[in-house]
């Protein structure tokens, strides 16, 4: 089963149905490379999880702690870059920095999304570019409502929404079915296509209202936030499967990048919703 997040789709480590628990894994029940167990499951019979006879540093299976740590690092870089962009970029460079951050983040996001091997340095570069975009964009929206506190409210709303989504996924044992996945994939691709076309049209002087602060903007921001929540569910499931089936440790960077993309998307749409409901002064 595939996630709608293309970041997680590029690695077979997050697709246990493809017949291997991690790259180079031996057939079920057979010894794996470096003395690792075969496909009996991470922590299954044959060898305790912490023992890897002669295994190189990057060959042990990914753990949930790995994902949490690397996601925290990536989000921290986004926050620091956003703060610096907010306070340090001169007024006459705001527009070029905003567009540059968006374009660089998009380009790096595409490279990372379609890379078979994740590059932590590119993940950090993406986090910096995304931070510049978010910092300037957040400052603009805070100025629109004349209240910088709206950014804190959006951050808290993002954390609460993500936490509630995770709790719902875990405690209600949500089953991610192929039909649900397909629906989210199609909806996400369609939504992204509309946003991209609208962005290009806006550069040419056409204003559809999708990216604005009117009723149409509110509608699309709500749709975007809803799709981000559904993508979080899919990504939580894929990360859980990756940990369960022994994805390589380095894949934690892919998971961290995927979560960062979705959380940034969720934050931006929640910020827009709050701004639209508040209205400009």
Contacts of 270 (CB under 8 A, 6+ apart): 154, 157, 158, 161, 221, 225
Please state, in angstroms and rounded to a whole number, the distance separating the CA atoms of residues 100 and 93: 10
Residue written as token pair 């926050």: 79
Q: What is the pLDDT of residues 114-169, one digit of tens each?
A: 888 899 999 999 999 999 999 999 999 999 999 999 999 999 999 999 999 999 99
Domain positions in the chain: 61-278
Give the whole-angstrom CA distance, residue 241 versus residue 40.
14
pLDDT in tens, 206-215: 888 888 889 9
Neighbouring C-beta atoms of residue 221, cutoff 10 Å = 23
**Phi (first) and psi of residue 53, to 5 degrees:** -65, 105
User: How confident is residue 56, by pLDDT bands cut at 50, 70 and 90?
Assistant: very low
Residues 6+ apart with CB under 8 A from 281: 145, 146
Pair 218, 210: CB distance under 8 Å? no
Q: How far apart are CA 129 and CA 105, in angstroms?
A: 5
* Cβ atoms 25, 32 nearer than 8 A: yes
How distant is the alpha carbon of residue 220 from its chain centre? 19
pLDDT for 206: 83
Contact 95, 102 (CB under 8 A): no
pLDDT exceeds 80 at position 21: no
- Cα–Cα distance, 101 to 132 (Å, whole number): 6
Cβ distance 237 to 10 under 8 Å? Answer: no
Tokens for 258, please give them.
């995927």
Q: What is the pTM of this model?
A: 0.78
Which of the 8 DSSP states describes residue 63?
-
Q: What is the pLDDT of residue 280?
A: 58
pLDDT for position 192: 87
SS3 19: coil
CA distances from 245 to 27, 43, 111, 239 (A): 13, 10, 26, 10
Task: Label residue 39 by pLDDT band (50, 70, 90).
Answer: very low
Average pLDDT of the residues of the chain: 81
Question: Do 89 and 138 contact (CB within 8 A), yes or no?
Answer: no
% of the chain at pLDDT higher than 90: 57
């Amino acid at each position: 089963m595939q996630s709608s997040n293309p970041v997680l789709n590029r690695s077979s480590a997050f697709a246990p149905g493809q017949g291997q628990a991690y790259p180079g894994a031996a057939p079920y029940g057979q010894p794996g490379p470096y003395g690792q167990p075969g496909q009996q499951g991470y922590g299954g019979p044959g060898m305790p999880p912490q023992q890897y006879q002669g295994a190189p540093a990057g060959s042990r299976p990914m753990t949930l702690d790995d994902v949490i740590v690397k996601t925290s690092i990536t989000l921290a870089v986004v926050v620091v870059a956003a703060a610096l962009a907010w306070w340090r970029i001169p007024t006459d460079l705001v527009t070029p920095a905003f567009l540059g951050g968006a374009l660089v983040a998009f380009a790096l996001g595409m490279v990372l999304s379609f890379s078979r091997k994740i590059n932590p340095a590119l993940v950090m570069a993406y986090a910096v570019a995304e931070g510049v975009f978010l910092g300037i964009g957040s400052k603009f929206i805070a100025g629109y409502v004349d209240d910088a506190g709206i950014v804190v409210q959006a951050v808290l709303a993002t954390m609460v929404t993500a936490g509630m989504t995770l709790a719902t996924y875990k405690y209600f044992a949500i089953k991610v079915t192929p039909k649900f996945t397909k629906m989210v994939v199609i909806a996400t691709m369609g939504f992204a296509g509309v946003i991209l076309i609208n962005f290009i049209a806006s550069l040419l002087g056409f204003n559809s209202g999708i990216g604005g602060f009117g009723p149409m903007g509110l509608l699309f921001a709500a749709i975007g936030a809803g799709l981000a929540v559904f993508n979080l569910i899919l990504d939580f499931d894929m990360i859980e499967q990756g940990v369960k089936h022994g994805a390589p440790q380095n894949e934690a960077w892919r998971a961290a990048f995927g979560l960062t993309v979705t959380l940034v998307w969720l934050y931006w749409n929640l910020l827009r919703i709050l701004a639209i409901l508040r209205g400009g002064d």
